[in-house]
């Protein structure tokens, strides 16, 4: 079962009398791949592909064992209005983050960003959080409480690559693109942000983990749905509350959510196994279940590019994949430390590579075509888009490259995930 936090009231209900008992029927936010906003910082496709892998590798190593060390990059951003003026900003969409924050003016130090800066002094609905407010919970790793006899609550986010965001806890209104919906949320107002983390692609983090401080829970949305579009397309939509009906809804299937006592904020799935070219990979069913130590299990993570498996699981998958790719020999050229199985091919199509399927029970499966399981480095060079984890506790993390084009609906009340393949 999905872990439900019951000892904390919805944070947005405080101070502004937010109505959570009558949620809006459908709230939509645009969601884009960050490449839409990237400047031309890369000389060619290969440098861009390797840069994406580098960000993913650097930030993944310490993502889960210690919640004070978080990711500072991801693949997708949500467009959302901030403050009384509804200033449009792009915030990193991350189901693995519990906290939401964005850069604020006035500030002593800030990251580069292309979005217009949110100025707390210009928002007529902005309020600072008093350090005696119950929201200022110093037992949480990202809240510092009162400093130097101040009365305002402070926060500090330390990232895995020594980047950080420091500021104060605040409360303000957020809205959708046309201003037809708005709600008050608590967030971190970042005023001292060090490190070149954003490259102009976004101005903060929109945490979507299962936690009272995350965005969906603050606005009372016990149900949300997202689809991660490809780099080449123009984006898709994130929905809250009531989810619209999509074409081919009859092919969707429902998977139970699971609970891990060591990571209660994560969205775990009921997972059954993997097949490659229709053949089952011989992996013990125990590797897909969460054990008493909170190890193993399978989680969704929108902030991760490459799907990661425990080391011994990955070896079984890789070895069987190599056997099925009978037409090619793995390349001896090592293009990146994280990906160890690459192929140099004639042309630029991977259609003759095998398919892979993720199975969830009762015959339900996501079928991954070759472009979902192969990562393009450059013209004619592709790598198996999976990696082994050795630095963190054994767990399988489904990355955005594999679930790209799949609509996923998380229902916290029903404790299920609804999966609709290829419906961005």
Which residues participate in catalysis according to the annotation?
94, 301
Q: How far apart are the first and last CA of the chain?
A: 28
Q: How many CB atoms lie within 10 A of CB 367?
A: 12
Contact 44, 378 (CB under 8 A): yes
Element (H, E) at 81: strand 76-82
* Nearest of 49, 76, 71, 98 to residue 404 by alpha carbon: 76
* Nearest of 373, 128, 78 to residue 229 by alpha carbon: 78
Instruction: Give the gyration radius of the chain's Cα atoms.
Output: 21
Reported residue count of the chain is: 424
Task: Please report, to the nearest 10 degrees, the dihedral formed by the alpha carbons of residues 359, 361, 366, 372 taken in order.
Answer: -20
Q: What are phi and psi of 34, to 5 degrees?
A: -65, -20
Structure tokens at 249: 């809804």
List Cα–Cα distances, 224 to 43, 177, 178, 278, in angstroms: 38, 17, 19, 32
Structure tokens at 254: 């429902």
Q: In whole angstroms, what is the distance from residue 90 CA to residue 106 CA?
A: 19
């Amino acid at each position: 079962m999905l872990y439900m936090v019951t000892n904390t009231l919805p944070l947005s209900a405080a101070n502004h009398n937010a109505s959570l008992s009558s949620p809006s029927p459908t709230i939509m936010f645009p969601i884009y791949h960050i490449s839409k906003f990237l400047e031309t910082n890369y000389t060619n496709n290969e440098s861009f592909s390797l840069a994406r892998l580098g960000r993913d590798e650097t930030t993944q190593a310490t993502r889960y064992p210690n919640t004070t060390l978080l990711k500072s990059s991801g693949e997708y951003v949500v467009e959302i209005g901030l403050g009384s003026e509804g200033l449009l900003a792009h915030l990193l969409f991350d189901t693995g983050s519990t906290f939401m924050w964005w850069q604020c003016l006035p500030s002593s130090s800030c990251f580069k960003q292309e979005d217009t800066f949110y100025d707390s002094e210009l928002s007529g609905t902005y309020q600072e959080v008093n350090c005696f407010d119950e929201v200022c919970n110093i037992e949480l790793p990202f809240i510092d409480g009162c400093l130097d006899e101040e009365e305002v609550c402070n926060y500090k986010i330390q990232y895995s690559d020594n980047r950080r965001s420091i500021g104060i806890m605040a409360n303000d209104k957020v809205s959708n693109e046309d201003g037809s919906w708005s709600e008050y949320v608590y967030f971190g107002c970042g005023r001292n942000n060090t490190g070149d983390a954003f490259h102009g692609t976004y101005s903060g983090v929109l945490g979507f983990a299962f936690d009272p401080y995350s965005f969906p829970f603050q606005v009372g949305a016990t149900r949300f749905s997202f689809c991660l579009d490809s780099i080449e397309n123009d984006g898709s939509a994130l929905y809250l509350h009531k989810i619209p009906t999509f074409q081919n809804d009859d092919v969707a299937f429902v998977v139970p959510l699971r609970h891990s006592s060591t990571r209660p904020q994560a969205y775990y799935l009921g997972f059954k196994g993997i097949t490659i070219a229709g053949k089952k990979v011989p992996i013990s069913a125990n590797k897909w279940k969460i054990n008493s130590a909170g190890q193993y299990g399978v989680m969704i993570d929108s902030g991760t590019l490459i799907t990661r498996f425990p080391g011994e699981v990955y070896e079984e998958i890789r070895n069987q994949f190599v056997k099925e790719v009978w037409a090619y020999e793995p390349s001896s050229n090592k293009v990146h430390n994280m990906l160890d199985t690459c192929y140099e091919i004639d042309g630029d199509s991977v259609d003759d590579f095998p398919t892979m399927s993720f199975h969830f029970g009762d015959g339900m499966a996501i079928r991954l075509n070759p472009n979902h399981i192969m990562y393009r480095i450059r013209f004619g060079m592709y790598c198996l888009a999976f990696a082994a984890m050795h630095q963190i506790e054994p767990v399988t993390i489904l990355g955005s490259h594999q679930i790209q084009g799949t609509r996923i609906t998380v229902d916290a009340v029903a404790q299920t995930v609804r999966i609709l393949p290829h419906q961005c």
